Chains A and B, each alone.
Chain A
Amino acid sequence: MTSTLEIQSGPTSSAVREVRVAIIGSGFAGLGMAIALARRGETGFVVLERADEVGGTWRDNTYPGAACDVQSSLYSFSFAPNPGWARSYSEQPEIQRYLQTTADRFGVREHCVFGADVTSARWDDASRRWHVTTAAGEFRARVLVSAAGALADPTYPDIPGLDTFAGTVMHSARWDHSHDLAGERVAVVGTGASAIQVVPAIQPVVGSIAVYQRTPAWVVPRTDHPVKSWMRLLYRVVPGLQRAVRAFLYLFREFLVLGMAKNRRFLKPVARLARAHLHSQVRDPKLRTALTPDYTIGCKRILISNDYFPAVAAPNAELVTAGIAEVRPHSIVTTDGVERPADTIVLATGFHVTDLPIAKKICGRDGRSLADVWSDGMISNRSATVAGFPNLFLLVGPNVGVGHTSMVYMIESQVAYVDDALQTMDAEGLEVLETTPAAQQAYRDLIAEKSKGTVWLAGGCASWYLDEHGHNTTLWPDFTFRFRRLTRKLDRENYVGIPAGATSEQPEVAA
């Protein structure tokens, strides 16, 4: 494992490496794509990974308490079930180990180039190749698959004076494990999915903890429990049982879509559950009020936790609802004029989701970057392709996000779609495959139509699901099985293909 790493990493040569497919990122999406290629015998591909290990989001988010909000039996590759999950909801180390062993098991680690932070990817129309420049050398690829992910680059809030803070500042996604929080006065900024996990994990060891909340989250009980050893054995002996559990969990979670995207009435029981949860865990009337959301449940991601409320109601904790006015070298001042001394600031402020940073680095046919083309909001065909960017496929790009179920299900749907596109190219002898502006406009209209009246748009909240224009460009606003059906096969009619050898002046137009 390490030997492969040493051979593959670093700027080994100045020569440009020719590959058929270059995949950016080795998280669930990148590995899923790589495994799909490897399983059908493809060898001419590389996985460009900026870090020195596979895993993506699950490698980077090592903060205390990091865990998945979806049961592991569902949050895993369908082709690589793991009967050995120790808990129903796995914690980060176990998920990361799963990704590592899965990468090894399907032999894709040898395709990984580590330390290959992509600095730019340009489409060269003359050679009909993607030129990918990375920290570990240059690559020329016929097809580029961006699996850089949505929860990849941390967002740092624009708080006056944050750079003058004399203590430690760390983002939850870039946790500094060498920094000991014991006895410290810790400020946690944010109350999203990361904060809700990190707060109860550090509250017992810190001296005091102040949680800075802008909007309270809806929190429902977490049905997490260790998986009994006889159950694990049963899963091993009867693989069909775990598949059945997986199917049940999938269907159960899909019911939430009824409430979120179809009729918000169906969310009422969920809201009642969340309110009862808060009531049973927090007695203090003021704290209870501060923790009660004023928007429809589901508008922001529904969080699950049994220990977040008790942690903010602990004797050494304080929930701060006033906005942060400024950070001073040793304290945080809120808009109500209260100043709280702090030794460490933990930023649980999320990721660049609606402005995917990789988009700045990918430039299409006319030299414009994807970010530039997307300045009015992310647009794509089938969440995978963009007109003007031939032979580029996006995984975990626009409108594939889900808050209620397993992202891996969406990723596998996308991988199947991209794989079908690649096989179509091979079968038809196409050197270039590019979607049409009309197709992506139609897809945008479809998303807008589906999003109308959903809880994300009409739930009365500002969430990271919506872009700066208030459009849903991140979530798939329907049942996930509909996305799978939509992306089962390449919609060949929405693509223009150029056969190898043909000039771009006489493109072979879609069927």
Chain B
Amino acid sequence: MSGGTLVRRVAAVRTADGAELHAVVDGPDDAPVTLVLAHGWTLAQAAWDDVADLLAPRIAGGELRLIRYDQRGHGRSTWGRYGDDVSDLSLDQLGADLGELIDQLAPNGPVVLGGHSMGGMTIMCLAAARPDLFGDRVRGVALVSTSAGDLAPAGRTLGERLQLRFAPGMVTAAIGGARVLERMRQLLPPTSPRHRKVVRELLYGADATDEMVVAGAEIMHACTVRAFAAFYPALGGHDKRTELKALQSVPVEILVGDSDKLTPQRHSRQLVEALPEARLQVVERTGHMLTQERPQRVVDVIGRLLSAAVQDRTAA
């Protein structure tokens, strides 16, 4: 059906609990390998757009199929059973979502997974819950600016401990007052220099252009206060440091920016300790938004994983 064109379709993946995950599938169904990309907290699949653009010629050439999707509660995807109450939301749910998405959109053939930040944690949750999927089906994993856990260390000072103690209450208050907070956010839109400055300092490295920062800030601005607040404690509760065994059976590439403030290098180094075969690259002058800041570096590691996944297949 292709003939030089890039075949695209949109799918709403319905999960067991009735959530709908918005997925964009690029490339032919009979491509030799499927790449699934999971985005991070308060982002959306658009965080992968720069990577997708670089991959487009290879997708049009029939080399791979690319699936980008919005995580539950993010972008266009719905909340499912957490529509009213988010108190028992954990990242394991995101792992289960990714599993269902693979089952429905890539029911057979080799799969390579890429996860940025919370998207990487999503892959770890999937690996912990469904280790059988890794090896034969999932043949490669790229973990970008992410962590296996320990994101909310026990407070060292009294102030930190108090903050931790009151965090759940703050989250509830934030969700309850989401409407008001949304209003307040409109007062400082991404176009304002102060908004950009905050975002740049927190998330970007030294070489990030203003366009990158604005694009990222707009994606995050589109995220709801609810998603921000609901996933905050879920991230704190994420700990898969002892459940990464399934990832040992596939090639794993780890990328992290040297100036990442959200998931600093130590998180990636912890990952390598648990996955000795994994390949770690620390990217210079780069912050947390590595997929935007260094899309070519991401494409390079993904390219290696894709080649290996296809070679495996021909060998087998």
Chain A interface residues (CB < 8 Å from chain B): 185, 207-208, 210, 283-286, 313-318, 328, 330-331, 333, 337-341
Contact = CB atoms under 8 A, between A and B. Distances in A.
Interface in B1-23: 1-2, 4-12, 20-22
Contacts of A284: 44, 46, 75-76, 222
Contacts of A333: 5
- Interface majority SS (helix, strand, loop, mixed), chain B: mixed
A339 B76 contact: no
Contacts of A286: 46
A149 B24 CA distance: 42
A328 B2 CA distance: 11
B6 A337 contact: yes
Contacts of A328: 1
5 contacts: A314-B22, A315-B77, A316-B20, A338-B8, A339-B8
Interface of B: 1-2, 4-12, 20-22, 24, 44, 46, 60, 70, 75-78, 190, 218-219, 221-224
B222 A283 contact: yes
B1 A340 contact: no
A341 B9 contact: yes
A314 B21 CA distance: 10
Contact of B11 (A316, A331, A337): A316
A185 B9 contact: yes
Contact of A330 (B1, B8, B11): B1
Contact of A314 (B4, B12, B24): B12
B5 A338 contact: yes
A337 B2 CA distance: 10
Contact of B1 (A185, A315, A341): A341
Residue of A185, A207, A286 contacting most chain B CB atoms (<10 Å): A286
Given A210-B10, A315-B12, 14 more contacts: A208-B9, A283-B224, A284-B44, A284-B46, A285-B221, A314-B22, A315-B21, A316-B20, A330-B1, A333-B5, A337-B60, A338-B6, A339-B1, A341-B9
B139 to A, nearest CB: 27
A331 B7 contact: yes
A340 B22 contact: no
B278 to A, nearest CB: 33
Q: Which 5 A-B pairs have the closest CB atoms?
A: A316-B12, A339-B5, A315-B22, A285-B218, A315-B12
B7 A341 contact: yes
A246 B135 CA distance: 70
A74 to B, nearest CB: 35
Nearest to A206: B12
A314 B76 contact: yes
Contacts of A314: 12, 22, 76
